[in-house]
Amino acid sequence: MAVFNLNVNGKTHQVDVDPSTPVLWVLRDHLNLLGTKYGCGVAQCGACTIHLDGKAVRSCITFVDSVGDKQITTIEGLSEDGDHLVQQAWLEQDVAQCGYCQSGQIMSAAALLNENPHPSDEEIETAMNGNICRCGTYLRIKEAIKTASKV
Amino acid sequence: MTLVKTTYNRRSFLKSSLAAGGGLMIGFSWLASACSVNTPKELTIPDEWFEINAYLKIGENGVVTIFSPNPEIGQNVKTSMPMIVAEELDVDWKNVLVEQAPLDTVKYTRQLAGGSDSIRTTWSALRMAGATARTMLREAAAKAWNVSVEEVTSETGVLMHEGSGKKAGYGEFASVAAQVAVPEKVDLKELDDFSIVGTSRKNVDGMGIVTGKPLFGLDYKVDGMLYAMLIHPPAFGMKLKSFDPDEVKSMPGIKDVFTLKTFNDDYKRQWSDTISFNEQVVIIGNSTWEVWNAKLMLNVEWELSAESKISMAGWGNDYEVNVPAGLESTFGHIAKMKEMAKKPGEIVRRDGNPEEEFKNAARVIERTYTAPFLAHSPMEPMNFFADVKADSAVVVGPIQSPEYMGKSVAERLGLPLDKVEVQMTRMGGGFGRRLYGHFGVEAAVISQKMKAPVKLIYTREDEMTAGIYRPMYHAVYRAALDTDNNLTAFHVKMGGIPENALHANRFPAGALDNYLAESWETDSNISVGAMRAPGSNFNAAAEQSFLDELAEEMGVDPIQFRLDLLKRAQENPVGENNDYDASRYAGVLEMVREKSGWNQAAEGKSRGVAAYFCHRSYAAQVVDLVMENGEPKVEKVYNAIDCGIVVNPDAAVNMVEGSVVDGIGTAMYGELTFSEGQPDQNNFDGYRLIRYTEAPKKIDVHFVENNIHPTGLGEPPYPPVMAALANAMYKATGTRYYHQPFIKNSFD
Ligand code: FES
Ligand code: FES
């Protein structure tokens, strides 16, 4: 066990965990930030996507001892009230079916739009290809990203 | 208005109290607001709630809470069911909050997510719940105003008496209405007067989902909760021999390690008690990762299991399932299927004299189709919470069949059924996998032993390798043609390991004078269960590909070919047991022909068509694609769907889009194979699911407009798209695709 000071959503949190613990489980079990989801644990589905210094990473393979003082942003930290334009676009397109993959999708989409505010269809597909939606909402997500990119 | 008797579902009017104060019912949660985008800020939450019946309560300010009875799995019933209640209650949807109801088999009808049946089986009950409440409000107002109830009308949450000009909001009369006797008869709206049903309303959990609120089973937590994981045998045909708990018991955060038996040996299992390995090792600790680490460290020895029999409680007649010994492999399965297909099967339906017609045929066309085992792979892995006390238990989590889980848990714990409370969380998908609730029993047994609240978590690997798969299927289709290329007889022989998929009474049965359907099954120790459109998902893929090939051999257009057969089935059906409506079936084919512009060639694209009937609904699809490096790029999928009244159109479109994507993914990539009893794939790196780049570019959805009571939608569009895809791929490549997955498969 070791003590880590993590900067999550603008606040510092201290956790005492095994250094090999993936950030995913630190967030979920220790910080009660349950919006970041577990889907595969092996960087295949994107359900656990968070931002590390603004870049999308898979928290299931990001170990707590590798974070240092980088800024972690989770879906809970994306906006105060769900008013981030990506979240709003998701509501406008009524994207979700079961909804389980969507926080990871939104985090990937928000990171994409940070880097590339007006992505083409192909750029969206490539950037999002690591996020699985088992319910098959891919077309709506693409629409939502385009909606957000027009704002 | 239509006056109907309220005999139906009167049990739901049993009240827990006359005027339920705010504290009695589940408290308000802001994210449950029906209009999720803006409303929470606009809605004033009432100080007091008045429970009118099990489906709804009304606040003194007119805000209404509607309880959604059925489990929400992504089919959007948590929005569409309350819409139906709100329609008949006659309120503004903006003033509606939605909450998930708990399991209560006395008050609610069929709380199950499966068979695409949630809306169909509750439609009348939901309407009645709203209409009765509306009548009770009118009666309360009539009494206060001293007028007859017939003269009191309602309009979106307002009661009115035209003669005196009196008006009052529902909230004003809610407390009195809660005490009015349940009326003997109520008025139901005419379908043409609907203003909520048939209009698109956003997902009531939308805001909760996009802000990452803890809506799912895996998110459910209480103080002092322990985490548990299981270790199951690495291969089907193996069982636990021994393990050494000492090493891991001393690992940080680990509380206990022991053997868990899910069901007792003398227990007669219900249909939902399917399980692959009844004895497993359980590790319990303080956090997910600590338990996971211990799981990786634990030394377990396994041994071969012997053949066994499992007693099942059937509906009316109990039966036994044979579980053979041995370590099975995919190549063995394929050899077995070929062998079985050569033997005579069990004749399920026989019309005319097909054997004779085949003998006399000028030409016989015979094709073989196969499909592999599939893992459901819902995005949220299996998990369940249990808190078991000496004389009661609470279990909470994602479950499609809460009623059955409740029974299994009560039985296993030795508690009376009414001492087991089952709460449903939102489910991160299910696709049938969550019909089999062994994980709730497992969590309960662990909690009982630990005397603490416990969350049981399956890793993705646990889930993908622990069984309850879609079975493996095989079908041989044969058609007899005479010298004029007329279809004179049709024969299907379909089988599966270990379950068969045949729906013998569906089209083209009923359209052919000489028809033979045979089936076979063969034992396996690999466990299986229902997966999205069970049976149909293979039937449609195989049959609709065969019909396409047959039409080509006969030199007729594939849509016209089907329509001609359907015309026969409509005008002069063969046999009595045909379970489809030929005119509705033809209706979706005609609609997709028109919407896709079938008769004009699609510029530079190859197209294929298919249609199917299942879960009482009809779906026809046209797929347009181009091939690139041996993989299809699907440009567009046209859908024509007849599922009766569409409650929430945009959500229904979403459901169809999802089914289309899923169907294409299944047909192209889905395959679970076995070596020596062990699944060869254990996560999404090996088990391929469809992704963005492989999804169709566009999906067009059209619904047949009619006033038929709503039928299933979560499953019907899934099966036929597989065949429409195969038929379009044939057009592009000149190769027929007989074996799933099309990308590469173990059969070829
Ligand atoms: S859980 Fe991290 S990518 Fe799947
Ligand atoms: S909405 Fe269910 S997995 Fe994406």
Q: Would you mind telling me the total number of residues written for chain B in this entry?
A: 748
DSSP string of B551-602, one letter each residue: HHHHTS-HHHHHHHHHHHHHHS-SSS---S-HHHHHHHHHHHHHHTTTTS--
In chain A, CATH 3.10.20.30 covers 2-74
Domain range list for chain B: 2-210, 217-308+382-457, 344-374+469-733
Angstrom distance (rounded) from CA B414 to CA B312 = 19
Please state, in angstroms and rounded to a whole number, the distance separating the CA atoms of residues B606 and B635: 10
Distances, alpha carbon B44 to alpha carbons A125, B40, B47, B63, B327, in Å: 42, 8, 9, 8, 62
- Report B:373-412 residues touching A (Cβ under 8 A): 377-381
* Cβ contact B445:B420 at 8 Å: no
Has residue B31 got a pLDDT over 50? no
DSSP result, B598-631: TTS--TT-EEEEEEEEETTEEEEEEEEEEEETTE
Name B177's Cβ contacts closer than 8 Å, sequence gap at least 6.
B50, B52, B58, B133, B136, B137, B139, B140, B170
Ligand at minimal distance from the CA of A141 is: 2
Answer whether B221 sits within 8 Å of A22, measured CB to CB: no
Give the Å distance between the CA of A95 and the centre of ligand 2. Answer: 9
Q: Name the B residues in 75-104 with CB < 8 Å from any A CB.
A: 75-76
Q: What distance in Å separates the CA atoms of residue B506 and residue B508, rounded to the nearest whole number?
A: 6
Rounded to the nearest angstrom, the distance between the alpha carbon of B428 and the centre of ligand 2 is 7
Domain with CATH 1.10.150.120 in chain A: 85-149
Selected residues 691-720 of chain B with any CB under 8 Å from a CB in chain A: 691-693, 695-699
Show the tokens assigned to B203.
């997902």
Task: Measure B217 CA to ligand 1 centroid, in angstroms.
Answer: 17
Kindly give the pairing relationship between strand B96-100 and strand B64-68.
parallel
Quote the ligand 1 centre to A35 CA distance (angstroms): 13
Q: What is the pLDDT confidence band of residue B185, given thresholds at 50, 70 and 90?
A: confident
Average pLDDT of chain B is: 91
Residue B266: both structure tokens together: 């003398």
Q: Do residues B289 and A18 touch, judged by C-beta distance below 8 A?
A: yes
Using the 8-state DSSP alphabet, how is residue B190 labeled?
Answer: P
Q: Across the strands, what pairs with B641? A: B619, B703
Contact residues for A141 (Cβ-Cβ < 8 A; gap 6+): A90, A93, A95, A105, A109, A128, A133, B692
- Select from B709, B611, B738, B717 the least CA-distant residue to B655: B717
Say if the Cβ atoms of A91 and B377 lie within 8 Å: no
- In this structure, which CATH number among 3.40.50.10860, 1.20.1250.20, 3.40.50.2020, 1.10.150.120 belongs to the domain A85-149? 1.10.150.120
What pLDDT does residue B4 have?
Answer: 62
Q: For residues B81-102, give the mean pLDDT.
A: 91
Q: Which CATH architecture has domain B344-374+469-733?
A: 2-Layer Sandwich (3.30)
pLDDT of residue B397: 96
Given an 8 Å threshold on Cβ–Cβ distance, is A44 in contact with B684? yes
B229, B462 contact by CB (below 8 A): yes
A39 lines ligand 1 (CB under 6 A): yes
B659-683 mean pLDDT = 98
pLDDT at B104 (0 to 100): 84
CATH homologous superfamily of A2-74: Beta-grasp domain (3.10.20.30)
Cross-strand bridge partners of residue B542: none
State the average pLDDT over residues B293-314. Answer: 94
Q: Mean pLDDT, to the nearest integer, of A25-31?
A: 98
Q: Give tens-digit pLDDT for B595-644.
A: 999 998 778 899 999 999 999 999 999 999 999 988 899 999 999 999 99
Point out the least confidently predicted range of A25-34, B264-273, B675-684: B264-273
Q: Is B150 helix (H, G, I), strand (E, B) or coil?
A: helix
pLDDT at B125 over 60: yes
Which pLDDT tens digit goes with each residue over B203-218?
999 999 999 999 999 9
Instruction: Say which range, A106-120, B87-101, B147-161, B555-569, has the weakest mean pLDDT.
Output: B87-101
Q: Is B446 helix (H, G, I), strand (E, B) or coil?
A: helix
What is the pLDDT at residue B54?
Answer: 84
Q: What is the pLDDT of residue B17?
A: 37
Structure-token pair, residue B721: 């798209």
Structure tokens at B591: 């609609």
Among B289, B428, B459, select the one facing A18 at the smallest CB separation: B289
Q: Are B1 and B189 in contact (CB under 8 A)?
A: yes
Distance from CA of B210 to the nearest CA of A (A): 6
Identify all chain B residues contacting A64, using CB atoms and an 8 Å cutoff. Answer: none
Cis omega (within 30 of 0) for bond into B741: yes
| Percentage of chain B modeled with pLDDT above 90 | 79
Question: Are the folds of B217-308+382-457 and B344-374+469-733 the same?
Answer: yes
pLDDT in tens, B393-429: 999 999 999 999 999 999 999 999 999 999 999 999 9
> Are the CB atoms for B68 and B129 separated by under 8 Å?
no
Interchain CB contact of B635 with A (< 8 Å): no
d(CA B417, CA B365): 56
Looking at the complex, report in whole angstroms how far the Cα of residue B199 sits from the nearest Cα belonging to chain A: 14
How far is residue A65's CA from residue A72's CA, in Å, rounded to a whole number? 13
The architecture of the domain spanning B217-308+382-457 is 2-Layer Sandwich (3.30)
- Looking at residue B499, what is its pLDDT? 95
Distance from CA of B644 to the nearest CA of A (A): 21
The answer for B 449-488 residues in CB contact with A (under 8 A) is 459-461
Choosing among B209, B218, B532, B699, which should be mutated to test the A contact, i.e. which has the most A CBs within 10 A?
B209
Residue-level pLDDT at B42: 59
> Is it true that domain B2-210 has CATH number 3.30.379.10?
no
Residue B683, classed as helix, strand or coil, is coil
Q: Which residues pair with B310 in a beta bridge?
A: B321
pLDDT at B195: 94
Q: Say yes or no to pLDDT of B87 above 50.
A: yes
**H helix and E strand count, chain B:** 17, 31
